[in-house]
Structure 1
Amino acid sequence: MKEIVIGKNEENKRLDSFLKSYLPNASSGFLYKMLRKKSITLNDKKADGKEKLSKGDSIKIFFSDETFDKFHGKQSSHSVEEGNFKALKALGPLEIIYEDSNILLVNKPAGVLSQKSKPSDISLNDWLIDYLVKKGDISTDELGTFKPSICNRLDRNTSGIVICAKSLLGARTMSELLKDRTVDKYYRTIVSGKIGKSSKLSGFLFKDEKKNKVFISQEDPHDTRYSYIETEFVPLEYSSKNNLTLLEVKLITGKPHQIRAHLADQKTPIIGDVKYGGKVIAGQNFQLLHCYRVRFPKEMSIEFSDIAGKEYIAECPEIFDKIFRRG
């Protein structure tokens, strides 16, 4: 017999939906049959599957170990594929900027994927799950029905703040805020040339998946492959000696490579961003782009009152100062 006690990430789910995710190799017909035969019970009573689950509810599954393993599937103790634990360990402890029971803000270093692109990859998502399992915030059993995940992606070589969801409530709330654009995200970068005043740029962006490169049109091409974009730029400092501008960028829409392509389109490409015409300085051969701060809206639910209206900062890597003030 296997007993599952419902936690905060499973409450309000229907029992049948929970069972389908917990026993992914079992058919719906089989699960309903087991409910009718009381081989699966809810709080020691017969259930039909339509019940809404509450925190603390007890689900008991009266299967043999062999049958349970067959329908539950092989569960890894971590999200990482076997053989990749050394790579995850090499990533080391990441800088946690803020953490509560629902979310976590982490300072992602350049060179780390936000999410896997292939099974052998090690990503920030892997680090997050490994961290939370070892910390005891989530059990390996709970990973069968809910997996913590990142909420906003950064390119592999873009560093800075990534919002991570530890709970289902955190995932839903952050997803809504990001979709509604009520979380303000500010990036810092260094570009070639002088940007003398603040500006708000708009345009239309198309991503060529084969080339993994985006293209911007100033005019509406009336093509469904293009997405409307908006970006705000504020110059912080100009180095006449090096003809470089330290820039803060507010991402209004969030499309792939948006900041990089928009700056290149203005003839002020990001240092190191060779894909979009940027110069290599001091060995910097990828985009010098950093998600520097995020600001949450003032109006948030009681569960997120600790972060409502607050701003969180991840200081720029040392290479920023090295490049901007080089002699």
Structure 2
Amino acid sequence: MKQIKIDTDLNQRLDHYLVDELGLNRSFITKLIKEDKVLVNGKSVKPGFNLKNGDVIDVFEAEVKELDLKPENLNLDIVYEDEDLLVVNKPKGLVVHPAKSHKDTTLVHGLLYQMDSLSNINGVFRPGIIHRIDKDTSGLLMVAKTNRAHQVLAKDLANHDIKRSYIALVHGTFEESNGTINAPIGRHPKLRIKNAVIKDGKHAVTHFKVLETFKHMSLLQCDLETGRTHQIRVHLSFINHPIVGDPLYGLKSDPLKDGQMLHAYKLEFVHPITKKAMTFEVPLPESFRDYLKKLS
């Protein structure tokens, strides 16, 4: 349990305060509050509870006891590592962390095998995890080794100070060479496993640039301004250029059936402790490159 005592005059909601204080995303904080894992002065409150001087907040760790987090040797591709953080090149087909719906091998299992320490801010089944990329998306992911680094990086992510760039192969060709998709994203009104562009969704912005054009497909660089779940996949589908191989947002007649052609190739951020500018790039996976050769 973590206890926080408010010793200043505040005019701030509980959920907003905990996002800043703990460096966790708002949806996770809201979930903890609704599950009574966050108490104020020993009582259950709503996420919008207005904090005041003297309030005492108790935050209880969200445990998932049924998950067995045994370290596994996955021979992860660690692109960079120091005492505060690491950058890993996640392979396609690997889920980032366990969940009630996924108890098989994940990136976290491999991290537990290769790392001596990981932050524990996000609970027992997401050690070190600051952000995620989808199972069938390959590429770069930041991981925190200390809670201090985790808190700073999570705030930088929330403030859009971390730049993430992707390469995507999409259906169709473009008349323009670049563009911006500014469309709010929320839960699909009918299919709960999907997200969609909806009127009262969360603000979401994706910038794209056309790198290469094929007969019926285009290779894009996509830069995230915001980081909504499935954002690039939803946005590209919304403009009628779904990612090739995307099983959820793609074409039913798609020639590829083993997941979307989407790769997180570049990551730029300021080191949370040393404050040095960090930039990392990784090439496309071999299968992605081979498919592009066939198109050429």
Instruction: Using structure 1 for the length normalisation, give the TM-score.
Output: 0.62
Which residue pairs with 1:54 in the alignment?
none
Which residue pairs with 2:13 in the alignment?
none
Identify which of 130, 141, 158 aligns with 1:179.
Answer: 158
Amino acid at match of 1:154: I
2: CA distance between counterparts of 1:207 and 1:153? 18
Which residue pairs with 2:293 in the alignment?
325
Percent identical? 27
Which residue pairs with 1:293 in the alignment?
266
Change (3 A) 1:130 1:173: same
| Structure 2 SS opposite 1:129 | helix
2: CA distance between counterparts of 1:94 and 1:145? 20
Residues 96-135 of structure 1: matches in 2 within 5 Å? 96-118=78-100, 120-132=103-115
| Structure 2 SS opposite 1:326 | helix
Contact 1:184 1:296 in 2 (8 A): yes
2: CA distance between counterparts of 1:146 and 1:114? 10
Which sections of structure 1, spanning at least 5 residues, go unmatched?
1-9, 15-78, 139-143
Residue 184 (structure 2) pairs with residue 204 (structure 1): yes
Change (3 A) 1:264 1:173: same
Amino acid at match of 2:193: N
> How far apart are 1:216 and its partner, in Å?
1.0
Residue 205 (structure 2) pairs with residue 237 (structure 1): no
Identify which of 231, 256, 265 aligns with 1:258.
Answer: 231
Which residue pairs with 1:38 in the alignment?
none
> How far apart are 1:81 and its partner, in Å?
5.1
> How far apart are 1:137 and its partner, in Å?
4.6
> How far apart are 1:80 and its partner, in Å?
10
Residue 220 (structure 2) pairs with residue 247 (structure 1): yes
Change (3 A) 1:130 1:80: farther
> How far apart are 1:313 and its partner, in Å?
0.9
- Offset from partner CA, 1:186-214 (integer Å, 9 cap, x none): 01110111134111110111213853111
Contact 1:271 1:284 in 2 (8 A): no
2: CA distance between counterparts of 1:114 and 1:179? 19
Contact 2:247 2:257 in 1 (8 A): no
Contact 2:169 2:261 in 1 (8 A): yes
Amino acid at match of 1:103: L
Contact 2:98 2:125 in 1 (8 A): no
Which sections of structure 2, spanning at least 5 residues, go unmatched?
6-64
| Structure 2 SS opposite 1:294 | strand
Amino acid at match of 2:110: W
Contact 1:146 1:168 in 2 (8 A): no
2: CA distance between counterparts of 1:177 and 1:106? 19
Larger Rg: 1
Change (3 A) 1:80 1:127: farther
Amino acid at match of 1:304: T
> How far apart are 1:264 and its partner, in Å?
0.9
Amino acid at match of 1:108: K
Contact 2:67 2:98 in 1 (8 A): no
Amino acid at match of 1:173: V
Amino acid at match of 2:173: K
2: CA distance between counterparts of 1:295 and 1:152? 14
1: CA distance between counterparts of 2:93 and 2:288? 16
- Offset from partner CA, 1:14-57 (integer Å, 9 cap, x none): 9xxxxxxxxxxxxxxxxxxxxxxxxxxxxxxxxxxxxxxxxxxx
Q: CA RMSD in A?
A: 3.3
Contact 2:99 2:125 in 1 (8 A): no
1: CA distance between counterparts of 2:181 and 2:269? 23
> How far apart are 1:121 and its partner, in Å?
2.9
The aligned length equals 231
Residue 144 (structure 2) pairs with residue 165 (structure 1): yes
Identify which of 76, 92, 114 aligns with 1:94.
Answer: 76
> How far apart are 1:277 and its partner, in Å?
2.5
| Structure 2 SS opposite 1:245 | strand
Contact 2:97 2:126 in 1 (8 A): no
